[in-house]
């Protein structure tokens, strides 16, 4: 550099002065650190007290459960991770499906929920919560145990939302029986129609119109790996969901559609009070996990959001567990 030109120090100094003069001090460009968040002991985040014995006719309403499940109604905070997405959730009125619906809406997605017509009171609450988040809500009360029902659910969701790029297969039927001799053929057929036939049919109908980047999430269970002896038919369907997820993921990868499974352990939902536990056993529910308690639906919400978002774009054909330390994966 010649004597007639500005020195390097002068140039840099002038840049600094210019920024300061423009009201943009250099120090202001470094964001202040976020306040520390206190640690939460997972053993005591939710009650570990035994649940009181209670029973409801199937399908059960969480609004009548004691205590009511926590689906994140008051706690989930979104940050736009699913902005503009359009999601269908079966069994979205209560329990795990309700938690996913609330989280998706607060992350910016429009949400359609399917549910059994008898679950209308719970469903109305979820629709209100979705709309309070400023998102479009579509209610689809329909039994999904037939091919026609499944195809109609997908068509209604796509029409009501203006498209579809997230599908959560969550609806389930569960009746505990002490042994195979107590499981009627009617119960066995109903369990398979609800828990695996509907997953297959809804995924097939939805995938035909889903764009690359779309996601299908199937809800399996710890029973997919470690079947409870009183849940023979239910556990069999959950094992089928695991294999269905892995196989479908391989097929739909060619279309750019990811397929994964969420595998919960003991979670406090209406399934438990509507025949999911043997008589007199409600107080034992979740007590044998290493964390010493059952989980709440709200504790799965972030898993659904993460697996539905582009942040997990290389994850397909896999399973993510939430079982309190007991089970796989």
User: Quick check: is 306 in a domain?
Assistant: yes
More confident residue, 316 or 10: 316
Could you report the per-residue pLDDT of 151-178, keeping only the tens digit for each? 999 999 999 999 999 999 999 999 999 9
C-alpha 215/C-alpha 233 separation (Å) is 28
Q: Which residues contact 322 (CB under 8 A, 6 or more apart)?
A: 262, 263, 264, 265, 267, 295, 299, 300, 303
User: Quick check: is 46 in a domain?
Assistant: no
pLDDT at 57: 96
Threshold 0.85, pTM exceeds? yes
Could you report the per-residue pLDDT of 100-148, keeping only the tens digit for each? 999 999 999 999 999 999 999 999 999 999 999 999 999 999 999 999 9
User: Quick check: is 297 in a domain?
Assistant: yes
E runs forming strands in 54-149: 86-90, 110-115, 137-141
Using alpha carbons, select from 111, 158, 156 the residue that is nearest to residue 133. 111
Paired tokens of 159: 């029409």
Helices marked H in 47-119: 95-106
Q: Sorting pLDDT into bands at 50, 70 and 90, what band is 328?
A: confident
pLDDT mean across residues, the chain: 92
Could you report the per-residue pLDDT of 200-257, keeping only the tens digit for each? 999 999 999 999 999 999 999 999 999 999 999 999 999 999 999 999 999 999 999 9
User: Quick check: is 17 in a domain?
Assistant: no
CA 225 to chain centre: 19
CB 296 within 8 A of CB 65: no
Q: Output Rg (C-alpha) for the chain, integer angstroms.
A: 24
Q: 234 an active-site residue?
A: yes
Q: Is the peptide bond before 243 cis (omega within 30 degrees of 0)?
A: no
Q: Sorting pLDDT into bands at 50, 70 and 90, what band is 29?
A: low
C-alpha 127/C-alpha 120 separation (Å) is 10
pLDDT at 34: 79
CATH of the domain at 108: 3.40.50.720
Q: Look up the domain containing 306 and give its range.
A: 71-322
Number of domains in the chain: 1
Could you report the per-residue pLDDT of 191-205, keeping only the tens digit for each? 999 999 999 999 999
User: Quick check: is 242 in a domain?
Assistant: yes
Flag whether pLDDT at 314 surpasses 60. yes
Flag whether pLDDT at 5 surpasses 50. no
C-alpha 318/C-alpha 92 separation (Å) is 23
Could you report the per-residue pLDDT of 262-308, keeping only the tens digit for each? 999 999 999 999 999 999 999 999 999 999 999 999 999 999 999 99
User: Quick check: is 317 in a domain?
Assistant: yes
Could you report the per-residue pLDDT of 49-87, keeping only the tens digit for each? 999 999 999 999 999 999 999 999 999 999 999 999 999
User: Quick check: is 32 in a domain?
Assistant: no
User: Quick check: is 282 in a domain?
Assistant: yes
Which one of 46, 115, 173, 234 is the catalytic residue? 234
């Amino acid at each position: 550099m010649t004597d007639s030109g500005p020195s390097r120090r002068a140039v840099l100094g002038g840049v600094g002065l210019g920024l300061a003069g423009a009201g943009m001090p250099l120090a202001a460009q470094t964001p202040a650190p976020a306040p520390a968040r206190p640690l939460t002991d997972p053993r005591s985040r939710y009650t570990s007290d035994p649940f009181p014995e209670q029973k409801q006719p199937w399908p059960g309403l969480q609004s009548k459960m004691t205590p009511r499940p926590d689906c994140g109604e008051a706690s989930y905070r979104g940050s736009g991770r699913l902005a503009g997405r359009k999601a269908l959730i079966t069994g979205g009125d209560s329990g795990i499906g309700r938690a996913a619906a609330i989280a998706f809406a607060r992350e910016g997605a429009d949400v359609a929920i399917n549910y059994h017509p008898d679950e209308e009171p719970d469903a109305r609450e979820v629709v209100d919560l979705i709309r309070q988040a400023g998102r479009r809500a579509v209610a689809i009360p329909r039994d999904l145990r037939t091919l026609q029902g499944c195809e109609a659910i997908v068509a209604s969701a796509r029409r009501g939302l203006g498209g579809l790029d997230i599908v959560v297969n969550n609806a389930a039927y569960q009746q505990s029986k002490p042994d195979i001799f107590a499981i009627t053929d009617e119960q066995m057929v109903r369990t398979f129609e609800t828990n695996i036939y509907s997953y297959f049919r809804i995924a097939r109908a939805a995938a035909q119109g889903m764009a690359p980047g779309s996601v299908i999430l199937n809800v399996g269970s710890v029973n997919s790996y470690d079947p409870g002896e009183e849940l023979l038919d239910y556990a069999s369907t959950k094992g089928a969901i695991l294999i269905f997820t892995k196989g479908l993921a391989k097929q739909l990868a060619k279309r750019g559609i990811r397929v994964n499974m969420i595998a919960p352990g003991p979670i406090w939902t209406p399934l438990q009070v509507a025949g999911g536990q043997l008589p007199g056993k409600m107080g034992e529910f979740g007590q044998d996990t290493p964390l010493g308690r059952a989980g709440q639906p709200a504790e799965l919400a972030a898993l659904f959001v993460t697996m539905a978002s582009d942040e997990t774009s290389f994850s397909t054909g896999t399973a993510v567990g939430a079982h309190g330390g007991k089970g796989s994966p």
